[in-house]
Amino acid sequence: MELKRVVVTGLGAVTPVGNTVPEFWDNLLKGVSGAGPITHFDASKFKTQFACEVKNFNATDFIDRKEARKMDLYTQYAVAAAKEAVTDAGLDTEKEDLNKIGVILGVGIGGIHTFEEEVAGYEKTKDTIGPKFNPFFIPKMIADIASGQISIMYGFHGPNFTTTSACASSSNAIADAFNYIRLGKANVIVTGGAEAAIFPAGVGGFNAMHALSTRNDDPQRASRPFSGSRDGFVMGEGAGCLILEELEHAKARGARIYAELAGVGASADAYHLTASHPDGLGAKLVMKNALEDAGMQPEDIDYINVHGTSTPVGDVSEVKAIKDVFGEHAYKLNISSTKSMTGHLLGATGGVEAIACVLSVKNDIVPPTINHEEGDNDENIDYTLNFTFNKAQERTVRAALSNTFGFGGHNACVIVKKYTE
């Protein structure tokens, strides 16, 4: 069976550095940090009091007020990003076979804010009026509901589900969407992911694990991948959606093509609940799997958008894996972590960073890793590699690779390349 080619024809983003794709991309290239004091709740007694929140977001700009009240914040972000992507792709739902358009999203946690609010409300009322819950509690909270809401909004009857693999969730969703299309099971799929977990349970839980930076005196400089003074990741939130489309279908309707999705990979560390394998074994395997799937050699990659969360252990193991997979070519490609600006969007990470890779390929420029000031004494972080520190770099980007790794040892990788006939 000949596999069909899959291209990217639409993009949508809601992020800490921009609520549209143009704004997001412009601020990435400028090196703008999205970090600041937490406003979603009073974090004054938490070890970490800052995050990369989405700013100036108004759900009713995208959704009817009555419908928005039925959605958790993560679903609102997903719907907004999907709407931008569908519009950007120029999809005319009046002319499309809606049975062949699907929605596959990645979500790591889901409606944690809704869960907190409902349980808190129950605790306040349980001794006076008995259990009282909002009838929309469950459909607001569950992780699959964002993809359901998008399909309902547009009448998309194709494959519809959610992948959950922690911080690899969105990349796994993109991989599933890719496979459905290249196997001929769908013409178009809205994919990517969403997350909104900057609330007491999210911040408190990651604080208890000592996973978050506590640089409360300087939030905008806290996310510093590959710097020796990094002390943990900075939580982010938002959504990133891509329209994946079968090539001939896209050409037939005259769609603008950003890039081609070349291959995907998945692997497991099978090592630890939260820590990456110190030798980067899972990271090496997932990149090799993606390259094999794409029919590409290491030398074909010009840019890696690394997982690069700014944690002491994770950054080291990923660089080690890159050196092992790419060999001498590792010194010729560009490496950067956009999490230095957006923070770590958890389940939305893969979608947002795939958009960054698509735009790098489209525009021949690599966004920077900001906040790098000093090196690391660990010999595995080799600073002779072409880390794109502090300033964007123009170069030909034939193909870009996006790494995402999640708690539980989940690893997913996506490769996009320039589209040619």
Q: Is the dihedral of CA 389, 393, 396, 399 positive or negative?
A: positive
Say which of 40, 249, 344, 410 is annotated catalytic. Answer: 344
Q: Which residues lie across from 405 on neighbouring strands? A: 411
Q: Does 307 participate in catalysis according to the annotation?
A: yes
233: which DSSP letter?
B
3-state secondary structure of 327: helix
Say which of 40, 52, 113, 167 is annotated catalytic. Answer: 167
285 C-beta neighbours (distance < 10 Å), count: 20
Q: Write b or e for each residue in 183-196: b if 16 or more Cβ atoms lie within 10 A of its Cβ, otherwise e.
A: eeebbbbbbbbbbb
3-state secondary structure of 214: coil
Task: Please provide the DSSP assignment of 112-123 as one string.
Answer: HHHHHHHHHHHH
Is residue 274 exposed (0-12), middle (13-18) or buried (19+ Cβ within 10 Å)? middle
Yes or no: say if 143 and 115 are a contact pair by the CB < 8 Å rule.
no
Q: Does 167 participate in catalysis according to the annotation?
A: yes
Task: Please provide the DSSP assignment of 19-47 as one string.
Answer: SSHHHHHHHHHHT----EE--SS--TTSS
Say which of 40, 113, 277, 307 is annotated catalytic. Answer: 307
3-state secondary structure of 13: strand
In whole angstroms, what is the distance from residue 24 CA to residue 9 CA?
18
Catalytic residues: 167, 307, 344
